[in-house]
C-alpha cells in the first residue's frame, strides 16, 4: 500500500473539502488509484496549526466546529498559525496550498510553495498567485529538488483544462484560446439578461456564495487576467505578467446594453483570450464582448466556465465545466496528487527495470 503524508496549508473551503474527500474515499482510492492520503499537519490563520506525525483523523477535522485558535486543543496543536514550521518540519510528502490569492506579488503563497519545494516536498495548489507570478522560479526549484509543482485547479477548478491542452491536444498546434474564466461575472451577466440591475445581480451572487464580500477581482476582470497569464504561459510558451494583459471588467455594462444585444442576436460575456501572432508574439486581453448566440461560448450560463482552444489541426476545441466550488476545487488537488503518484510509479518501474 502506498501512503502519502499530506500537510494542508489553509483550512478554508477547499482544503476542508479535501479533508472531507479523504474521510469518505480513502479506502476507495487505495483500491482504484493505488494510494491513501494521511493528513499529518494543518495550518490556518484563524484556527492555528497542528502537526501529528502519526496522522490526524480527517473526519474529526471536518466535523469539529473549532473556535478561533481551536487547533490548540489538539495534541501537537497551537493557537497560532505557523505556516513555515508546518511546511518545513511536518513529515509530509505533499503540501496542499490553498490560501488566498494575492494578485500583486502572490504572497504569502509563493513563499509557501518555495519553502515546500526547498524542503523536498511536492506542492499541489489551487492558488493563482504563485502560478501567474512565479511559475518559472517554482518549476526550476521543483526540478532541482526532484519534486513536482502541480496547479491544475488554478484556472478552472476541477475542470482539467491545463492537462487536457498539454496532453490530449499535444501536436494539434494550439495557437490561442478564448474563454469564460470567471463564474461570478458570468452569473451576473446571466441575471442581467433576466432584467436585474448590475448591483442587484452582484448582491444575489454574494448571497449564493459565488461572489466575495468585495467582488472587485471578479467583476473587474482581475481574476480572469491571472488565468489568462497562466494559460498563455503554459500553453503558448509565453512569459507574460499580469500587466501585459489589457483588462476591462463588466461593471460598465448597463441593462440597456444587455437588452440591445439580445434584440440583435448577441450575448455579453467577459472573455479572456490570448493568441500567437505570425511574428511569434502573444496578444492577450480581458474584456466584455458581444458574442453571436451561435458562438460556442455564448450558451455557457450560470457560474459555469469554458475555454475554446484555437488549434491548427482541429479548429476550435471547447471545454466546459465548473470553474468554482469547494468540492470541485478539492478534486483539482486530488488530480494533482494522482499526477504525482503516476509519475512516481513510472520512476519506480524504470528503476526496477
Between CA 261 and CA 199 the distance in angstroms is 20
Q: Where are the alpha helices (DSSP H) in the chain?
A: 13-32, 58-63, 83-89, 109-118, 128-144, 153-156, 161-163, 183-193, 198-207, 216-219, 222-235, 255-263, 326-352
Main-chain dihedrals φ then ψ at residue 288, nearest 5 degrees = -75, 135
Indicate the CATH number of 2-157+327-352 among 3.40.50.2300, 3.40.50.720, 3.60.10.10, 3.80.10.10.
3.40.50.720
* Alpha carbon distances (Å) from 101 to 126, 145, 239, 286, 307: 9, 25, 20, 19, 22
Every domain of the chain and the residues it spans: 2-157+327-352, 161-323
Task: Sort residue 302 into left (φ over 0), alpha (ψ -120 to 50) or beta.
Answer: left
Mean pLDDT of 261-270: 97
Tell me the chain's radius of gyration from C-alpha atoms.
21
Q: What is the pLDDT of residue 353?
A: 59
State the DSSP code for 287.
E
Mean pLDDT of 3-26: 97
Enumerate the active-site residues.
227
Q: Residue 44 pairs with which residues in a beta bridge?
A: 48
Name the average pLDDT for the chain.
95
Q: Does residue 194 sit in helix, strand or coil?
A: coil
Q: pLDDT tens-digit profile of 69-123?
A: 999 999 999 999 999 999 999 999 999 999 999 999 999 999 999 999 999 999 9
Answer yes or no: pTM beyond 0.85.
yes
Q: pLDDT tens-digit profile of 142-195?
A: 999 999 999 999 999 889 899 999 999 999 999 999 999 999 999 999 999 999
Q: What is the pLDDT of residue 213?
A: 87
- Strands 2-9 and 94-97, sheet pairing: parallel
Q: How many CB atoms lie within 10 A of CB 9?
A: 31
Query: ∠ CA(209), CA(216), CA(259), 5° rounding?
Result: 85
CATH superfamily entry for domain 161-323: Dihydrodipicolinate Reductase; domain 2 (3.30.360.10)
How many residues are listed for the chain in this entry? 353
C-alpha cell at 224: 480572469
Instruction: Assess whether pLDDT exceeds 70 at residue 351.
Output: no
Confidence label for 348 from pLDDT (cuts 50, 70 and 90):
low
* Alpha carbon distances (Å) from 171 to 166, 229, 276: 9, 22, 16
Q: Residue 304 pairs with which residues in a beta bridge?
A: 322
- Strands 246-247 and 122-125, sheet pairing: unpaired
Amino acid at each position: 500500500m502506498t501512503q502519502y503524508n499530506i500537510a494542508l496549508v489553509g483550512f478554508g473551503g477547499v482544503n476542508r473539502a479535501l479533508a472531507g474527500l479523504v474521510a469518505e474515499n480513502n479506502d476507495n482510492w487505495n483500491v482504484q488509484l493505488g494510494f491513501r492520503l494521511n493528513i499529518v499537519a494543518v495550518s490556518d490563520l484563524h484556527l492555528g496549526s497542528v502537526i501529528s506525525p502519526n496522522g490526524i483523523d480527517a473526519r474529526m477535522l471536518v466535523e469539529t466546529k473549532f473556535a478561533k485558535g481551536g487547533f490548540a486543543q489538539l495534541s501537537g496543536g497551537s493557537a497560532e498559525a505557523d505556516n513555515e514550521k508546518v511546511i518545513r518540519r511536518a513529515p509530509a510528502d505533499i503540501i496542499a496550498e490553498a490560501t488566498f490569492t494575492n494578485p500583486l506579488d502572490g504572497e504569502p503563497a509563493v513563499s509557501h510553495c518555495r519553502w515546500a519545494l526547498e524542503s523536498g516536498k511536492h506542492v499541489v495548489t489551487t492558488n493563482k498567485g504563485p502560478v501567474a507570478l512565479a511559475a518559472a522560479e517554482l518549476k526550476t526549484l521543483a526540478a532541482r529538488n526532484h519534486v513536482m509543482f502541480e496547479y491544475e485547479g488554478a484556472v478552472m477548478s476541477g475542470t482539467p483544462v491545463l492537462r487536457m491542452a498539454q496532453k490530449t491536444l499535444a501536436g494539434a498546434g494550439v495557437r490561442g484560446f478564448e474563454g469564460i474564466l470567471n463564474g461570478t461575472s458570468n452569473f451576473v451577466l446571466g441575471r442581467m439578461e433576466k432584467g436585474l440591475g448590475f448591483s442587484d445581480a452582484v448582491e444575489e451572487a454574494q448571497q449564493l456564495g459565488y461572489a466575495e464580500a468585495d467582488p472587485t477581482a471578479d467583476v473587474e476582470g482581475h481574476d480572469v487576467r491571472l488565468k489568462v497569464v497562466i494559460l498563455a504561459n503554459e500553453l503558448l510558451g509565453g512569459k507574460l505578467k499580469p500587466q501585459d494583459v489589457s483588462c476591462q471588467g463588466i461593471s460598465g455594462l448597463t441593462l440597456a446594453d444587455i437588452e440591445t444585444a439580445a434584440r440583435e442576436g448577441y450575448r455579453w460575456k467577459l472573455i479572456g483570450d490570448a493568441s500567437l501572432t505570425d511574428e511569434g508574439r502573444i496578444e492577450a486581453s480581458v474584456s466584455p464582448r458581444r458574442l453571436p448566440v451561435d458562438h460556442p461560448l455564448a450558451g455557457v450560463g450560470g457560474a459555469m466556465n469554458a475555454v475554446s482552444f484555437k488549434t491548427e489541426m482541429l479548429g476550435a476545441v471547447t471545454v466546459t465545466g465548473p470553474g468554482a466550488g469547494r468540492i470541485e476545487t478539492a478534486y483539482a488537488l486530488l488530480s494533482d496528487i494522482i499526477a504525482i503518484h503516476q509519475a512516481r510509479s513510472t520512476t519506480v518501474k524504470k528503476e526496477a527495470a
